[in-house]
Amino acid sequence: MGDLEEEIVGTFLQERRRAGRSAAGQAPTARQFLAHLRRQEVVAAPPPPVPAETPLLGLLGQYEEHLRRERGLTSATVENYLPLVGRFLNERFGEGPLAIGELTAADSSRFLLRHARSLSPGRAKLLVTALRSFFRFLVEHGHIEADLASAVPAVAGWRLSSVPRYLEADELERLLGSLDRSTPTGRRNYALLLLLARLGLRAGEVVALKLEDIDWRAGEILVRGKGLSLDRLPLPPRWARLWPPTSRRIVPHQCHPAGVCLPKSTLAGLCRPLQRQLHRPSRPGPSWSLPAQPRGPSFAPQPGYGDAEARGLPGRGGGALAPPGSGHHRDLRQGGLRCAPGAGSALARREGQTMSELGQAVEEYIALRRSLGFSLRQPARALRLFAAFMETQDAPSITAELALSWATRPVGAQPATWAWRLGVVRRFALWRRATDPRTEVPAPELLPHRYRRQPPHLFTDEEIERIIAAAQSLPSPRGLRAVTYATLFSLLAVTGMRVSEALALDRKDVDLRQGLLTIRRTKFGKSRLLPLHPSTTRALRRYLGRQDRLLPGLATAAFFISERGTRVTEWSARYTFAKLSQRCGLRAPAPGHGRGPRLHDMRHRFAVLTLVGWYRAGLDVERELPKLATYLGHVHVNETYWYLEAVPELLGLATERLLEEAEAVKP
């Protein structure tokens, strides 16, 4: 027993796997058991590690100390950052000297271009945040002069943009019921899962709990959150009656003085029985491994966090960096980053042409931003025009004067267009300044402009009927064009969807059995579920039946299709609507689209009618408004409040309601 060590435990687990026995979850348990034996002095403690000190390890050690002591980051965050930074440095310097002063913005750009596309948005954000943090550390500690953090762009991902995954009430009960509460471990795990489910604590906050953090007399729990924050939360009264006996029944030596003695990874393991019951097998993802280096014995970073195998530090028993797999279907969660077609390197030019240094920087910037999930269709075109303008001015670097001159070149354009053009250049200049210190970033005060939304046209029921009737009479060789546009315009009128959202629907997104539409990653990357009225569901079912009869065996996944079997484009939908509006007298005759009510006004009509109905029904509109904002896919509820000031009838109803409430509170 005295000779027991990690190598023997590893050999034991390997033999079990070869024998066909499952070893899932046994490795962490074996490490905990070995650590317990060492604390009881049954097994000799290993000699202290003496890692081979290298410049890379020394720099990573300084960075780790900076994150822990100066930034106050949690161990989990630190352990996420270090492998990413270590890989960046390994790829940049390899076996050569660690010349940190030679780092440039191009190094970070090349690293991101190589790896960002294969990552999920969450993992890409972590990579970007780690690089920015490391570059700021280098500047603060005098390793470099230029702040390369500005050369690391943001990732196209927005908080709360996807529909969250959650456990149903019966699933939670099955998970809790799968625990054997007749054992100390089962009672402990039951208490941990209750903390996660009932109080909404993070896994890291749960495993950091100490017994003295629970004040049974006051009915409070001390939570150690992010950034070294301490918060006190009330405990449900019945918990105070149930948990003290539970905690006393736990054998004393099972609890580590620093915490609950449960690795964070084990919390995910507690849910595996439920995953198997629900037929949700875990999906292994690709792993990132740092280049192999001489390895020394692992060491524990601090009490309560096990040994360093999971840290993945180069030269410290480095493990693997495993991002979530992006090859499988994630339903409404964000899988891989959205990259525009041709999002790779765009440095090619026509034969015989040369590209200026600024032009090359523009192409590199576009490729980098696209690798991080941005489409940049209009900004890319604008930046290329700006680079061509700079070539005509024979200017080696960006100046605020030249940027302003280019932004205001369309003399007849609206101020909003000028401000947008200057904003595109400003963001590029911020990135470019890390490479070319001579770059001037235009001040935000230049060309100030506040966006003003166009007053909506509120279609009447009679106008909607005329438009749909006109769509049904569209010339159509196969008879599909007319029914497609009639169904599309009807759907927009009764759901308030954006035009782009309706045209992006695939067949799999239309659940006619449950009457539910799945809107995936639209404006600002948001996803949502849209319930349908039964009459709408019947109309969509009739359209699909007509589509299948007219074009059987279609290869496209699109829901709204043209007579050629391709997805209807947004330009075609808007143009068709404009022409039908001219035929119905809603727009003046014109060669092109003309001016008048827009297809987007269908969305405004839906929102206004909903709000008017709530006011007339006597509902508390302020409480109901977040429901409408969620249904419409607004990022902030203040975007929904805009209708109250944009529509006179709504403004009058809101004022009337306010006066009634004021009269009611008078003595």
Q: Are 219 and 238 within 8 A, CB to CB? A: no
Nearest to 217 by CA among 241, 189, 183, 250: 241
Contact between residue 138 and residue 102 where contact means Cβ atoms under 8 Å apart: no
DSSP state of 116: G
Q: Of 421, 539, 403, whose CA–CA distance to 484 is shortest?
A: 539
Contacts of 17 (CB under 8 A, 6+ apart): 23
Alpha helices in 551-597 (DSSP H): 570-584
- Amino acid in position 567: R
Q: Provide the 10 A C-beta neighbour count for residue 460.
A: 9
Distance between CA atoms of residues 192 and 1, nearest Å: 33
3-state secondary structure 470-504: HHHCCCCCCCHHHHHHHHHHHHHHHHCCCHHHHHC
Distant-in-sequence, close-in-space partners of 401: CB < 8 Å, separation ≥ 6: none
Q: How far apart are CA 118 and CA 111, in angstroms?
A: 12
| 634 is annotated as an active-site residue | yes
300-327: string of b/e by CB count within 10 Å (b at 16+)?
Answer: ebeebbbbbbbbbbbbbbbbebebbbbe
* DSSP for residue 567: B
Local structure of residue 70 (DSSP, 8 states): I
Q: Which structure tokens are listed for 575?
A: 């143009």
* Predicted pLDDT at 481: 93
- 588: its two tokens: 């003046």
pLDDT for the residue numbered 2: 59
Q: What are phi and psi of 288, to 5 degrees?
A: -105, 120
Given a contact cutoff of 8 angstroms between Cβ atoms, the answer to whether 317 and 330 are in contact is no
pLDDT score recorded for residue 622: 83
Cα 47 to Cα 50, 231, 307, 427: the distances in Å are: 9, 39, 14, 53
Handedness of CA 638, 643, 645, 646 (dihedral sign): positive
For the chain, what percentages of helix, strand and coil (3-state, to nearest 5) are there? 55, 5, 45
Tell me, yes or no, if 643 is annotated catalytic: yes
Residues 6 or more apart whose Cβ sits within 8 Å of residue 568? 484, 488, 503, 558, 560, 561, 562
From the list 31, 210, 523, 583, the catalytic residue is: 523
Q: Which of 87, 433, 498, 605 is catalytic?
A: 498
Select from 219, 208, 209 the least CA-distant residue to 244: 219
List the strands of the sheet with 510-511, edge to edge: 510-511, 516-519, 528-531
Which whole-number Å values give the CA distances from 112 to 71, 189, 347, 654, 661, in the listed order? Answer: 24, 40, 17, 51, 57
Label the pairing between strands 214-215 and 516-519: unpaired
CA 495 to CA 619: how far, in whole Å?
A: 21
Instruction: Mark whether 603 is an active-site residue.
Output: yes
8 Å CB contact between 89 and 289: no
Q: Is 321 helix (H, G, I), strand (E, B) or coil?
A: strand
Q: For the CA atoms of the chain, what is the radius of gyration?
A: 31
Using CA atoms, how far apart are residues 445 and 400, in angstroms rounded to an integer?
12
Catalytic residue, chosen from 603, 604, 605, 615, is: 603
- The answer to whether the beta carbons of residues 435 and 402 sit under 8 Å apart is no
Indicate the burial class of 212 (C-beta count within 10 angstroms; 0-12, 13-18, 19 or more).
Answer: exposed
CB atoms within 10 A of CB 270: 18
> Residue type at 643?
Y
Q: How many CB atoms lie within 10 A of CB 659?
A: 10
Determine the length of the chain. 667
Residue whose token pair is 């849209």: 530
- pLDDT for residue 389: 93
Q: What are phi and psi of 561, to 5 degrees?
A: -125, 155
CB neighbour class for 657 (10 Å; exposed up to 12, middle 13-18, buried from 19):
middle
Low-confidence stretches of the chain (pLDDT beneath 70) = 1-3, 22-25, 47-53, 157-164, 227-228, 238-355, 450-452, 644-646, 662, 665-667
Distance between CA atoms of 146 and 106, rounded to whole angstroms? 13
Q: Is 280 a catalytic residue?
A: no
Confidence (pTM):
0.54
Residue 512 neighbours by CB under 8 Å, 6+ apart = 537, 540, 541, 544
The pLDDT value recorded for residue 67 is 92
Q: Among candidates 73, 8, 492, 49, which has minimal Cα distance to 296? A: 49
**Dist. CA 327–CA 335, nearest whole Å:** 8
Residue 151 has a CB neighbour count (10 Å cut-off) of: 25
Q: Would you tell me how many other CB atoms lie within 10 Å of the CB of residue 257? A: 9
